[in-house]
Amino acid sequence: MSSSRRRIVADVALQGGAVSVAEEVDRAKVLDRLRLGDTTFRWLTRLAAIAVLIILGGIIVSLVHGSWPALRTFGFSFLVTETWNPVTEKFGAVAPIYGTLVTSAIAMLIAVPVGLFIAIFLTELCPMWLRRPIGIAIELLAGIPSIIYGIWGLFVFAPFLQQYVQPFLIDLFGPVPVLSPLFEGPPYGIGIFTAGLILAIMVLPFVTSISRDVFDAVPPVLKEAAYGLGCTTWEVARYVVLPYTRVGVIGGVMLGLGRALGETMAVTFVIGNAHRVSASLLAPGTTISATIANEFTEAVGDLYTSSLIALGLILFVITFIVLAAARLMLMRLNARIGS
């Protein structure tokens, strides 16, 4: 090889080496920048998660600290006493706890099956031209403020129940030995049953919207295979759609239950705000959130305020137990299916 040719090859090699070094430097800079961004993102997400735990811990500490005078004074009797007398400073949480659990149970017993049926209708049976109007109507129900539900329930819904529905229930279940205590007494219009119905209307959009979204996420091939085997729409919904979306459905139900347990203004308008426990669902009652909303601004004295904060702590514990039970149920379902 001539000297000139040898020189050209050497120059090309040098240029190629220089280009490779530059590319390596650029690549290293890009990797460092990406690594820095990934590290920053990881720490931001970690700090966000830690912030949630700190806020939750702060809420628990503040509730325990605020309710400690009442818990120390009344002890376990606070949970089993019905008396609520601010004048004599005798407080018991049985009536609010009872009203909270019963109204939430009524709401979920009505809202869950109705919401699931609506979601199945929208995803499996509803004509395309009708899906959007019904979906928009459901979302509008979710966006109505709770105080609007309360005003409507007090001035429209409660008089309707008092005049037509409650007398019918009293006449229908009066002769039934087991159910007659649940529907006895005069038709007040307001009461635990009315509050449960209002909560059912408020919870229904959450259950329906989430169920509809998770039903839409079911792979069409699964439903088509079931239809190909000769299954009916009910069988497809029961054996294909619901098992595939059980986690999302239970999540929607838990979201609705959390709304029902903590709802304040709408319940305050229609429940009657009576601190007593009655077997009749038509009788007035109260809930934890309604009691706190009604009496916190009028609480005079440390013991009175501490008793209201203790009610908030009890509501927090009830919500935690419900969510923990739902998580345990999901774990057992997954373990059963896996086995």
Give the pLDDT confidence of 114-167 residue by residue, as tens digits. 999 999 999 988 888 888 888 888 888 888 888 999 999 999 999 999 999 999
pLDDT tens-place string over residues 61-76: 999 999 999 999 998 8
Cα distance between residue 184 and residue 170, in whole Å: 6
Q: Is the dihedral of CA 30, 34, 35, 36 positive or negative?
A: positive
- Mean pLDDT lowest for which of 52-56, 104-108, 140-144? 140-144
Tell me which fold the domain 77-338 belongs to.
MetI-like fold (1.10.3720)
DSSP line for 118-142: HHHIIIIIS-HHHHHHHHHHHHHHH
- As a whole-number percent, the residues of the chain with pLDDT over 90 amount to 43
pLDDT score of 93 more than 80: yes
Q: What percent of the chain has pLDDT over 70?
A: 92
Prediction pTM value: 0.84
Max CA distance (Å), the chain: 119
CB 253 within 8 A of CB 210: no
Give dist(CA 135, CA 131) in Å, integer: 6
Nearest to 106, CA basis, from 270, 232, 335: 270
Cβ contact 38:280 at 8 Å? no
Task: Show the tokens assigned to 215.
Answer: 């039903």
Instruction: Assign 18 to helix, strand or coil.
Output: helix
* Mean pLDDT score, 48-64: 93
Checking if the pLDDT of 15 tops 90, the result is: no
